[in-house]
Amino acid sequence: MWWLQPKQFAFYSAVLLDLTFVHEYLCHVIPVNRQLDKDIREIWLHCGIAFGMRNLPDLKSERHPVRFVWQMFRNGYAKHHNIDEFHVGGPLSLDDLARDLSGRPLFWTITLAVLAAPDGQDQADQIARLFNKLSSFNDAQLDGLQASGQTTIAMLDIVASVLQSMR
Amino acid sequence: MVMVNGAESVSKYRMARAAVDMGDFSVAELIALADVPEGTAAHFISTLTGGHLVQTVSLPSQGKGRPRNSYQLVEAGRKSLRNYMHQVRLRTEGDKVPFPDASSPKEVEIFAEPVMALAAPYFKGYPSGSRYVLVGAVPGLSAKDVTVLPKRHHVTVQGSNPASVLPSWAQKAIGLFRETFIRDVDIPADFANPVVLRQVVRNGILTVELGKATEAVGTIAMAKAAAKR
């Protein structure tokens, strides 16, 4: 549901209105599963947008202000909603994972699997556990996962087997 | 238990986050994003410059003022700041698993935190028989100042510091933690959707006993049976 919030951070979202809608659409409208964890929506799925922002064919002089205004919006939003300073941007481990993987085929594979995951709390929990495990993977383990070529959220089992094989 | 300095740590953490998020930034952008005074931002940048963690690039002059600089985080700088952020988060969230590549003491050294007052309550959880117990230091708070909200995979602990009735300079002097805090403490999967069985604050230590969701069903069933009798 949308409503006007006459707060300072709303100004920044108005400046980047198209980006705000892209975020809302990709992170909150498209995913079939309505119970997806907030961090998965706000960090993982948003990372796809951030990847696009970083790699826009525009001049750097055009990209830089967009990034700055987006950060101002995010900080203002967090402050308004009393989000703990150390939690702005969500868990660093998931953030790092998303940043490191974004752009790699595995990122899009996982993203598509998340977007298409059927609705239901069980599926959402399974995805949350998957990301929890993925966050502890090192590069070799992620490469192993990519090599497996799996495309569904049954990847949780694959994650377990990759972990097993790395021991 | 390792604790981090309060206000200074928050400012430094904000600046580190802003620098990492932006990749390259000016002093003015750092001030706006981290909400810090100019001197604090300048000191942070000089630390980065001294550690060869940023490259300084002169921006084209705009008008009559001094030429501005942009600071581009190099890879070592990004790693160093990310590691610093991880270290701070690990200190404030002892229940978190360290990120695999996060421990590189040498890189973190530049941004090492002094061991001082508690910036945010630290909670530790452990199983105890059929219960799961959370323990955390909440100095100055009583049980009525703390709310425990069980969620599916974590428990949210909220508290308000009664010291907030003091003027702000006094709060700063106390420096224990901010007016309010919210902490999410992860709980094991077999305690999903727990019930809060007991919550006490004694000598500044909050102890929360959690039971399994099935325990609540059993308790409700027993209560219904007792009511029928």
A71 contacts chain B (CB < 8 A): yes
pLDDT in tens, B69-109: 899 999 889 888 988 887 777 666 544 444 433 333 343 34
pLDDT in tens, A28-43: 999 988 998 888 898 8
| CA–CA separation, B202 and B80 (whole Å) | 39
Residue A1, pLDDT above cutoff 50? no
Lowest mean pLDDT among B1-5, B164-168, B197-201: B1-5
- Which residues touch B60 (CB under 8 Å, ≥6 apart)? none
Please report which confidence band the pLDDT of residue B179 belongs to, taking 50, 70 and 90 as the band edges.
low
Out of A51-65, A96-110, B87-101, give the one with best mean pLDDT.
Answer: A96-110
- Cβ pair B137, B144 in contact under 8 A: no
At position A83, the amino acid (one-letter code) is I
Domains of chain B, each with CATH number or no CATH: 7-111 (1.10.10.10), 123-228 (2.60.40.790)
Residue A98, pLDDT above cutoff 70? yes
- Cβ pair B201, B141 in contact under 8 A: yes
Q: What is the pLDDT of residue B28?
A: 92
| CA–CA separation, B214 and A125 (whole Å) | 18
Spans of all domains in chain A: 8-166
User: What is the token pair recorded at B138?
Assistant: 């909440």
| CA–CA separation, A103 and A55 (whole Å) | 10
Of A71, A87, A96, the CB nearest to B22: A71
Please report which confidence band the pLDDT of residue A94 belongs to, taking 50, 70 and 90 as the band edges.
confident
* CB contacts, 8 Å: B88 with chain A: 86
Cβ pair B97:A137 closer than 8 A: no
Q: Which residues of B touch A (CB under 8 A)?
A: 10, 13-14, 17-18, 21-24, 29, 32-33, 35, 82, 85-86, 88-89, 92-93, 96-97, 99-101, 120, 152-153, 180-184, 189, 192
Q: What is the pLDDT of residue B115?
A: 32
Cβ pair A92:B85 closer than 8 A: yes
Angstrom distances, CA of residue B141 to CA of A8, A125, B159, B177, B203 = 33, 34, 8, 11, 9
Exposed (0-12), middle (13-18) or buried (19+): which is B41, by Cβ within 10 Å?
A: buried
- Cβ pair B161, B180 in contact under 8 A: yes
- % of chain A with per-residue pLDDT over 90: 2
CA distance B164 to chain A (A): 16
| Average confidence score pLDDT of chain B | 73
Residue B118, pLDDT above cutoff 70? no
Out of A78-87, B22-31, B201-210, give the one with best mean pLDDT.
Answer: B22-31
User: Phi, psi at residue B104, to the nearest 5°?
Assistant: -140, 85
Q: What is the pLDDT of residue B95?
A: 40
Angstrom distances, CA of residue A41 to CA of A34, A44, A84, A154, B211 = 10, 6, 18, 19, 30
The three-state secondary structure class of B123 is strand
> Which residue out of A54, A71, A125, A133 would a mutagenesis test of the B interface target, given it has the greatest number of B Cβ atoms within 10 Å?
A71
Q: What is the pLDDT of residue B71?
A: 94
* CB contacts, 8 Å: A91 with chain B: 96
Please report which confidence band the pLDDT of residue A143 belongs to, taking 50, 70 and 90 as the band edges.
confident
- The residue in chain A having the minimum alpha-carbon distance to the alpha carbon of residue B85 is A92
Please report which confidence band the pLDDT of residue A101 belongs to, taking 50, 70 and 90 as the band edges.
confident
Cβ pair B97:A136 closer than 8 A: yes
Angstrom distances, CA of residue A15 to CA of A12, A81, B106 = 5, 20, 41
Residue A44, pLDDT above cutoff 70? yes
The three-state secondary structure class of A24 is helix
Residue A162, pLDDT above cutoff 80? no
* CB contacts, 8 Å: B180 with chain A: 82
| CA–CA separation, A111 and A105 (whole Å) | 10
* CB contacts, 8 Å: B32 with chain A: 68, 72
| CA–CA separation, B3 and A167 (whole Å) | 34
A82 contacts chain B (CB < 8 A): yes
Give me the residues paired with residue B155 across strands.
B150, B185
User: Which residue is listed with tokens 């084209």?
Assistant: B60
CA distance A96 to chain B (A): 9
Higher pLDDT, A159 or A6: A6
Higher pLDDT, A99 or B41: B41
ipTM: 0.74
| CA–CA separation, B205 and B141 (whole Å) | 9
CA distance A86 to chain B (A): 7
A35 contacts chain B (CB < 8 A): no
- As a whole number, mean pLDDT of residues A143-157 equals 62
Of A71, A91, A137, the CB nearest to B21: A71
- How far is CA A81 from its chain centroid? 20
- The residue in chain A having the minimum alpha-carbon distance to the alpha carbon of residue B14 is A85
User: What is the token pair recorded at B182?
Assistant: 């919210």
Of B14, B101, B153, the CB nearest to A85: B14
Cβ pair B82:A84 closer than 8 A: no
Of B13, B29, B33, the CB nearest to A85: B13
- As a whole number, mean pLDDT of residues B184-197 equals 86
| CA–CA separation, A112 and A108 (whole Å) | 6
Residue B162, pLDDT above cutoff 80? no
| CA–CA separation, B164 and A95 (whole Å) | 33
- Cβ pair B44, B30 in contact under 8 A: yes
User: Phi, psi at residue A46, to the nearest 5°?
Assistant: -65, -25
Q: What is the pLDDT of residue B54?
A: 92
> Which residue out of A35, A36, A39, A84 would a mutagenesis test of the B interface target, given it has the greatest number of B Cβ atoms within 10 Å?
A84
Angstrom distances, CA of residue A73 to CA of A28, A126, A158, B76 = 18, 31, 38, 28
Higher pLDDT, B51 or B2: B51
